[in-house]
Amino acid sequence: MLAEIITIGDEILIGQIIDSNSAWIAQQLNNIGVRVKQITSASDDRQHILDSLNSAANRADIIIITGGLGPTKDDITKKTLAEYFNVGFKRDEASLKVIEEIFRRGNRPMLEINNKQADVPENCTVLLNKSGTAPGMWFEHEGKVFVSMPGVPFEMMYLLEEEVLPRIKQHFKLEAIVHHNILTAGIGESFLAEAIATVEDSLPSYIKLAYLPKLGQVKLRLSAYGEDEVALRQEVLKYADAITAVIDEYVVCSEDKALEVVIMEFMRAKKLTLAVAESCTGGYLSQQFTQHAGSSDVFLGGAVTYSNALKQSILGVSVATLDQFGAVSEETVREMAEGALNNFMPDYSIAISGIAGPGGGTAEKPVGTVWVSVAGGNKTIAKKFQFGNRRQQNIERAAVNAQIMLFKLLREEHA
């Protein structure tokens, strides 16, 4: 079963907003066994919308349209849909009530253009939007389903979850899809491909393997398509096990989770805590952990010691070490990690010191030189990395590699 997503509106095409709706819709459709064939962002232009509807309907069975449902003149999705289906309009009383209520609550005068928001093409089933003025619409036309929803994320999400997905499941007999993710770290994409070539070549045609690389990590995704979900899941697991057997030492986890989440879950289960001492990553590493709800029971906090003075005062790095070896050195980064351990009292600490660039490099320590140290369990390890010239990338790579170092150490010590 194939679907397409069409987002309508200039704000995406001029880059004003990032289309995060489509990814979310695609995830939800995938979960119920509907594959998305194409995502199209089209302008608020009658002919362009008509063409997009035509080509989507040629490729897919379900066409999900978001956006272009506002009251102003530039929003023409509804009018264009009526033209596409060659029908007139009807007023939907339930939607009108919601709209009136929204204006009443907001104490705003209701204009004629607001009444018109309750008008929908005659051939549609209204999907009542309880939290906005634009109704959702469900159309069945020449064997295809068309759904139109507002582009406001939470309105769209509500309509998709409560109205659209249940109707799709009822309307179509859906193929089962099973995804299985394997997150690897510390091995490059091509080396990985070579290592698992035999397994990959043995995959049946209905199981696909995708490589999703991201700064020091590669996520492998097996996707199986077919009738019998239980059988598919068993088969996918068989191949996942075969892959894991070959690359076991690089596998971080077998779920669709970020590395820092896996680390925090591991530490939470063992009642371990973490603190960090960051120099060149400047808070990025902390944010990787703290962006996740519930991080506070593992992550105690840390220091961003950009200046040498703060490396001394907060972390207790010695003046002699900084003078003799410099801020970007094995000696300093070890003292930073141990200082974080002693001063912040976690079970484990991570310290990072490097030259993110673009300035600050020397012949001996060029931009991209980063030292990482991990301390805990009566052990302090340190490792030097040589990344490239891009500041943000160096920051992200340093943070990911520091996490990999911590994760390996944790697994060694708490197997």
Residues numbered 178 to 237 that lie near a second copy (CB under 8 A) are 179, 188-191, 193-194, 200, 208-213, 221, 223
CA dist., res. 137 & res. 156, Å (int): 11
* Binder of a second copy out of 33, 68, 136, 302 (CB under 8 A): 302
Residue with Cβ nearer a second copy (59 or 140): 59
* Binder of a second copy out of 198, 202, 234, 287 (CB under 8 A): 287
Q: Which of residues 314-373 bind a second copy (CB under 8 A)?
A: 314, 343-345, 356-359
SS3 373: strand
Our finding on whether 388 is near a second copy (CB under 8 A) is: yes
> Residues 353, 328: contact at Cβ < 8 Å?
yes
CB of 200 to a second copy, least distance (A): 8
Our finding on whether 15 is near a second copy (CB under 8 A) is: yes
Q: Which of residues 232-271 bind a second copy (CB under 8 A)?
A: 256
Residue with Cβ nearer a second copy (299 or 407): 299
Binding mask 389-408 for a second copy (x = CB under 8 A): xxxxx-x-------------
CA dist., res. 298 & res. 28, Å (int): 31
Tokens of 3: 């679907």
* Binder of a second copy out of 97, 140, 154, 324 (CB under 8 A): 154
DSSP for 108-144, written as a single string: -PPPHHHHGGGEEETTPEEE--TTSSS-EEEEEETTE
Our finding on whether 313 is near a second copy (CB under 8 A) is: yes
Residue with Cβ nearer a second copy (105 or 271): 105
How far is C-alpha 305 from the chain's CA centre?
30
Residue type, 373: S
Residue with Cβ nearer a second copy (202 or 389): 389
CB of 124 to a second copy, least distance (A): 22
> Residues 108, 100: contact at Cβ < 8 Å?
no
Residue with Cβ nearer a second copy (125 or 308): 308
Instruction: State the residue for tokens 């999705």.
Output: 77
* Binder of a second copy out of 94, 165, 230, 283 (CB under 8 A): 283
Count residues binding a second copy (CB under 8 A). 109
CB of 409 to a second copy, least distance (A): 21
CA dist., res. 187 & res. 16, Å (int): 36
Tokens of 393: 């990338």
Burial of residue 49 (number of CB atoms within 10 Å: 0-12, 13-18, 19+): buried
Instruction: State the residue for tokens 């805590």.
Output: 273
C-alpha distances in Å from residue 40, one per residue of 45, 64, 340: 14, 10, 49
* Binder of a second copy out of 86, 106, 173, 230 (CB under 8 A): 106
Stretch of 110-118, 163-171, 228-236, 239-247 contacting a second copy, by CB under 8 A? 110-118
Long-range own/partner contacts, residues 383-391 (CB < 8 A, 24 or more apart): 384/330, 385/354, 387/354, 389/357, 389/358, 390/357, 391/356, 391/357, 391/358
Tokens of 235: 């088969």
CB of 314 to a second copy, least distance (A): 6
Our finding on whether 312 is near a second copy (CB under 8 A) is: no
CB of 399 to a second copy, least distance (A): 10
Binding mask 23-62 for a second copy (x = CB under 8 A): xxxxxx-x----xxxxxxxxx----x---x--x-------
* Binder of a second copy out of 285, 328, 375, 406 (CB under 8 A): 285
CB of 415 to a second copy, least distance (A): 27
* Binder of a second copy out of 33, 67, 68, 70 (CB under 8 A): 70
Cβ-based neighbour number of residue 280 at 10 Å: 25
CB of 260 to a second copy, least distance (A): 12
CA dist., res. 298 & res. 296, Å (int): 5
Residue with Cβ nearer a second copy (58 or 86): 58
Backbone φ and ψ of 121, nearest 5°: -55, 140
CA dist., res. 126 & res. 275, Å (int): 52
> Residues 51, 57: contact at Cβ < 8 Å?
no
CB of 290 to a second copy, least distance (A): 3
* Binder of a second copy out of 217, 305, 329, 332 (CB under 8 A): 305
Our finding on whether 176 is near a second copy (CB under 8 A) is: no
Backbone φ and ψ of 48, nearest 5°: -65, -40
